[in-house]
């Protein structure tokens, strides 16, 4: 619910910013009129001090152009060119029609002032227009590059996964034909591990590329938390048993049918990565998944994945969440990975409006804690 409310507030904030920018058009128009009025009032000064005062007003006009392009990205150019056209009309009216000709002693200053202003202001406007167009092109190119990269990786992943799944199926059939404890069985197991690891690499790289795409969006909906946690733990029970580990779940009396508002696919991806990491880096002991209410008003839910693995040094607990960082290479080179799993988890948690924290002691284990906003109506239901 809180995540849905946050998205609604974000959309409302975007609409309010757009409306606020449109409302800024009136103050900018008033500033433009004020500049024109002041220049008209000081049209034909008879001394150098008057022309310096006129130039002092004129030198601040480029700020009007900058403000127009910032406040009105779509219509700022119209306001700027309208102001410049008004300056040209004013100049023609003052000297060609109105007869406001400066004294002969000041004609040089007048010519310099009007020539500089009428020549430089189009340059300001064109420069701002170029910068604005360049920013738009860079933004569009970034989005297109993200989409192209995602399509390429999706195509590559599909083209590789198809033969990979065929390999895994053939490996399973081959495993039925070999005898246990033989060299043939060990070779088949190595092939299965290698193929499974390659499939994991493909998923991680594809997921990371998708998160970098600026157009990536969440699909928020109601998710019943307890069955999801049980399903994830059941999925990894076989892997835990193969390593001689105990995988347990403690939901701390959460209602079995209680839904929260989040993206179910992304939440499961977070849990899959955390549980898979805990099993991968634990050689003995237990892996425990816990979920409980948190926060002063019990308006948050905390999910912890705790293991008894190798642990993470204190100085590395922040960097381990960065992309392509693997601290286990010097500890145990046999453990493989892309270094993207925890980075994906951190990005997904932040996109879902949650927080990720790590508590770890080397050689004793680690605890990854994810905290999400939950349905504030839970207390009334309990």
Domain identity same for 210 and 339: no
- Predicted local confidence at residue 307, as pLDDT: 93
Q: Which residues of the chain have pLDDT under 70?
A: 1-23, 43-48, 95-109, 146-147, 149-150, 153-154, 156-159, 197, 200-201, 204-206, 208-216, 295-298, 323-339, 375-382
- Predicted local confidence at residue 213, as pLDDT: 62
Taking CA atoms, 26 is separated from 13, 77, 352, in Å, by 21, 15, 38
- Residue 122: which domain range? 1-217
- Predicted local confidence at residue 248, as pLDDT: 93
Question: Three-state DSSP class for 1?
Answer: coil
Q: For residue 250, what is the enclosing H or E element?
A: strand 246-250
Domain identity same for 201 and 255: no
The pLDDT tens digits for 213-222 are 656 677 788 8
Q: How far apart are CA 110 and CA 274, in angstroms?
A: 74
The pLDDT tens digits for 264-283 are 888 888 898 899 889 988 88
Domain identity same for 181 and 96: yes
Token look-up 């406040």 returns 71
Q: How far apart are CA 281 and CA 291, in angstroms?
A: 21
Angle at the Cα of 287 (from 283 to 292), degrees rounded to 5?
Answer: 165
Token look-up 């004129």 returns 58
Domain identity same for 190 and 241: no
Q: Which tokens is 216 given?
A: 């990536």
Domain identity same for 191 and 269: no
Q: At a CB cut-off of 8 Å and minimum separation 6, what does 372 contact?
A: 3, 260, 262, 300, 301, 302, 303, 349, 352, 353, 354
Q: How far apart are CA 211 and CA 207, in angstroms?
A: 6
Last residue of a domain, one of 185, 217, 249: 217
- Predicted local confidence at residue 238, as pLDDT: 87
Q: Which tokens is 264 given?
A: 């179910």
């Amino acid at each position: 619910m809180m995540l849905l409310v946050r998205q609604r507030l974000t959309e409302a904030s975007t609409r309010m910013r757009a409306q606020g920018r449109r409302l800024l058009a009136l103050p900018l128009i008033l500033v433009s009129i004020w500049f024109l009025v002041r220049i008209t009032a000081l049209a034909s000064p008879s001394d150098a001090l008057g022309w310096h005062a006129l130039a002092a007003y004129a030198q601040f006009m480029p700020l009007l152009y900058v403000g127009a392009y910032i406040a009105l990205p779509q219509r700022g150019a119209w306001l700027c060119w309208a102001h410049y056209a008004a300056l040209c009309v004013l100049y023609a009216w003052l000297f060609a029609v109105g007869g406001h000709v400066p004294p002969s002693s000041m004609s040089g200053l007048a010519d310099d002032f009007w020539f500089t202003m009428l020549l430089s202001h189009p340059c300001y406007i064109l420069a701002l227009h170029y910068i604005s167009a360049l920013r738009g092109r860079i933004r569009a190119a970034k989005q297109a590059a993200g989409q192209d990269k995602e399509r390429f990786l999706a195509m590559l992943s599909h083209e590789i996964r198809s033969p990979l799944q065929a390999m895994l199926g053939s490996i399973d059939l081959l495993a039925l034909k070999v005898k246990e404890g033989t060299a043939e069985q060990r070779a088949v197991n190595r092939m299965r591990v290698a193929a499974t690891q390659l499939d994991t690499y493909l998923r991680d790289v594809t997921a990371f590329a998708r998160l970098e795409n600026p157009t990536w969006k969440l699909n928020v909906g109601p998710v019943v938390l307890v069955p999801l946690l049980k399903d994830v733990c059941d999925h990894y029970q076989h892997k835990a048993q193969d390593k001689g580990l105990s995988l347990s779940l403690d939901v701390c009396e959460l209602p079995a049918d209680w839904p929260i508002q989040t993206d179910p696919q992304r939440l499961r991806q977070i849990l899959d990565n955390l549980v898979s990491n805990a099993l991968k880096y634990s050689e003995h002991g237990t892996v425990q998944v816990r979920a409980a209410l948190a926060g002063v008003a019990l308006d948050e839910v905390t999910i912890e994945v705790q293991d008894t693995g190798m642990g993470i040094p204190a100085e590395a607990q922040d960097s381990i969440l960065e992309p392509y960082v693997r601290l286990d290479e010097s500890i145990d080179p046999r453990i493989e990975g892309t270094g993207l799993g925890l980075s994906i988890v951190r990005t997904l948690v932040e996109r879902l409006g949650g927080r990720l924290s790590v508590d770890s002691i080397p050689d004793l284990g680690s605890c990854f804690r994810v905290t999400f906003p939950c349905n504030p109506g839970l207390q009334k239901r309990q």
